[in-house]
Amino acid sequence: MSRSIDAVVVGSGHNGLVAAAYLARGGWEVEVLERNPEPGGAVATEELTEPGYLHDTFSSWHPLFHLSAAYAELGDDLAARGLEYANAEDVVAASALPDGSSVFAHRDPATMTAQLSPADATAYAEDLEALGAQMDVIGELLATELHSGHAARLALRLAGRLRRRRGSAFAARFVASSRGWLSGRFEGRQMGDLLAPWGLHLGLTPDQAGGGFQLLALAGALHEVGMPVVKGGSARFVEAFVSLIGDHGGSVRSGVEVDRITTRSGRATGVIAAGEEILARRAVIANTTPTQLYGRLLEPGSAPEQAVQQAARFRYSGRAGAQIHLALAEPPRWRGDPRLADAPIVHLTGGIDAVGLACAQAQSGLLPSEPTIVCGQPTALDPSRAPDGTAIIWIQLQEVPYRPRGDGAGEIDVGDGTWTPELESAYADRITDRLSRHIENLPAAVVGRAVLSPATIEDRNPNLVRGDIYAGATDLTQSYLWRPLPDFGSHETPIAGLYQCGASTYPGPGLNAASGRMVAMRLLERPLRRRVAARLGRES
């Protein structure tokens, strides 16, 4: 059996949904195919612990989406289909330190710098101002295919603004590590305590090149848009996109795994899924990793050998991610500063050195003795996610070995490295105990707990290989022009009509909607360019 449509999207991660939404609005007949029972990829909401407690599995916070061109262009359509956000007006994040002190990130930069020394406050304001002066071009570059004439023109515009001396300083800042920026620019430790854990959300350790610039940009984003969270759970984000696609004649089908992408004469022609051949008249879009695309979905010999070999060498982080979800009978009561209870995210951290040590331990196969704990508090912004008077805590751990060989603290028996329920429970106990030093009603208030180990995360989403929650290492040599592949760093693959989007492609991970939009814009502009060229030909 076979049928024909304009475009097939393999995988319903948010970039796949974004691409499908644009194409459907543009009049294309488009279908998204998802292997899991529900669409959304790394965006999901589930009652993991107890009835009535709505936990965002995987991603939860949407600041990058709020800064995206996709949100500017589709936001009203999505809001009309039920997407609504709650956001912080003052405190957007905090770090709780081992000595009981804390440091806060505020929407207002001046309020935030008031807790710093005069020299550090000036340095931070200067760096934010310098970034802001170029952010219009940088932001457009992050939403533009880098292998394009438009990107080259943007780069020339940026170079013209900076000129020689400032351009050299900008380049040095661009490649600096988080540690290099934080320790070299600030005399006190508050900025390191506050921002160093955020480097983990970029997939980077404190000492990897490029982290300093990205960290500053992320800090600017928190000032600009805060920490928006979807009211009622992130699944409503997915539901709004599915509705938008459907209202324009497209469809999203779940529980349908694509077995193969078909090609003929060097061009993608469609897919085989659930015993059916779906022909794609215009394009196939793979919201997958290079590992999946070239190693499983494409038939041997259908792609250039160079691309196949580079895809086989696509690197995943040596650190995996894990999550712990807590259902609480009452809101958490934080020790110390009462503002901690209002912060959407609190990092439990010992600062930049502690982050670096935990990364090194995880990279070496050890359970970190003092991991960085990302303690998300969605119910501080959106009480509807839990029964009245209760709360949830969303914990993300970004320094976890995929198969632990030992325990950095020498306390937990990891066995053969398999994430058994016993190992999950033992490590979750360590995290809860650490939280209880800062939250006085833990663990007494806990009425339910769910653990997602690196193995569980990989099993639930094949893009998260070895529990890598960023779908591929994000160091400088596998980013920008070289993502997803060194010689094929574009969303257009070497197979005509086949495109790739998602976290494994530029601009990388995060709910930024950029790669899906770039693919859609490229496809939608082609017929227009052909019509313009034909018209110019007639007039010449």
Looking at the structure, do residues 214 and 163 belong to the same domain, yes or no? yes
Looking at the structure, do residues 135 and 218 belong to the same domain, yes or no? yes
Residues 6+ apart with CB under 8 A from 208: 177, 178, 475, 476
- How do residues 467-500 score in pLDDT, each as one tens digit? 999 999 999 999 999 999 999 999 999 999 999 9
Is a pLDDT exceeding 50 seen at residue 532? no
**Alpha carbon separation from 226 to 89, 162, 343, 488 (Å, rounded):** 7, 29, 11, 35
Is a pLDDT exceeding 50 seen at residue 122? yes
- How do residues 197-209 score in pLDDT, each as one tens digit? 999 999 999 999 9
Residue 203 counted as domain residue: yes
269: nearest Cα among 287, 260, 520? 260
Residue 440 counted as domain residue: no
- pLDDT average, residue stretch 39-54: 97
Strands 229-230 and 85-86: antiparallel
Residue 39 counted as domain residue: yes
Looking at the structure, do residues 204 and 274 belong to the same domain, yes or no? no
- How do residues 435-456 score in pLDDT, each as one tens digit? 999 999 999 999 999 999 999 9
Is a pLDDT exceeding 60 seen at residue 81? yes
On whether the CB atoms of residues 45 and 53 are closer than 8 A, the answer is no
Looking at the structure, do residues 284 and 196 belong to the same domain, yes or no? no
Q: E strand or H helix at 140, and its extent? A: helix 118-142
Mean pLDDT for all residues in the chain? 95
394: nearest Cα among 14, 54, 19? 54
- How do residues 268-290 score in pLDDT, each as one tens digit? 999 999 999 999 999 999 999 99
Looking at the structure, do residues 115 and 211 belong to the same domain, yes or no? yes
Is a pLDDT exceeding 50 seen at residue 190? yes
On whether the CB atoms of residues 509 and 203 are closer than 8 A, the answer is yes
Residue 363 counted as domain residue: no
Helices 149-175 and 118-142, axial angle in degrees (round to 10): 160
Among 208, 225, 242, give the residue marking a domain's end.
225
One-letter amino acid at 384 equals S
- pLDDT average, residue stretch 295-323: 96
- pLDDT average, residue stretch 80-99: 97
Q: What is the DSSP letter of 295?
A: I
- pLDDT average, residue stretch 376-380: 98
- Please give the angle made by the CA atoms of 161, 165 and 171, to the nearest 5 degrees: 80
CA separation for the pair 176, 185 (Å, rounded): 11
Residue 394 counted as domain residue: no
Judged on CB neighbours under 10 Å (0-12, 13-18, 19+), 220 is middle
pLDDT at 168: 83
Looking at the structure, do residues 240 and 193 belong to the same domain, yes or no? no
- pLDDT average, residue stretch 109-126: 96
pLDDT at 170: 85
Looking at the structure, do residues 186 and 269 belong to the same domain, yes or no? no
Looking at the structure, do residues 170 and 208 belong to the same domain, yes or no? yes
pLDDT band, very low/low/confident/very high, at 539 (cuts 50, 70, 90): very low
Strands 373-376 and 229-230: unpaired
392 DSSP β-pair partners: 327
The domain total for the chain is 2
On whether the CB atoms of residues 295 and 367 are closer than 8 A, the answer is no
Looking at the structure, do residues 136 and 221 belong to the same domain, yes or no? yes
- φ/ψ (deg, to 5) at 504: -75, -5
**Domain boundaries, position 197:** 108-225
Looking at the structure, do residues 128 and 195 belong to the same domain, yes or no? yes
CATH number, residue 507: 3.50.50.60
Among 160, 191, 225, give the residue marking a domain's end.
225
Residue 460 counted as domain residue: no
- How do residues 227-273 score in pLDDT, each as one tens digit? 999 999 999 999 999 999 999 999 999 999 999 999 999 999 999 99
pLDDT at 162: 85
Looking at the structure, do residues 189 and 298 belong to the same domain, yes or no? no
**Alpha carbon separation from 454 to 38, 320, 324, 333 (Å, rounded):** 20, 6, 11, 29
Residue 374 counted as domain residue: no
Residue 247 counted as domain residue: yes
Among 162, 196, 225, give the residue marking a domain's end.
225
> pLDDT > 90: what percent of the chain?
93
pLDDT at 540: 43
pLDDT band, very low/low/confident/very high, at 367 (cuts 50, 70, 90): very high
CA separation for the pair 189, 457 (Å, rounded): 34
One-letter amino acid at 358 equals A
Looking at the structure, do residues 157 and 211 belong to the same domain, yes or no? yes
Strands 267-273 and 320-328: unpaired
pLDDT at 217: 95
pLDDT at 527: 58
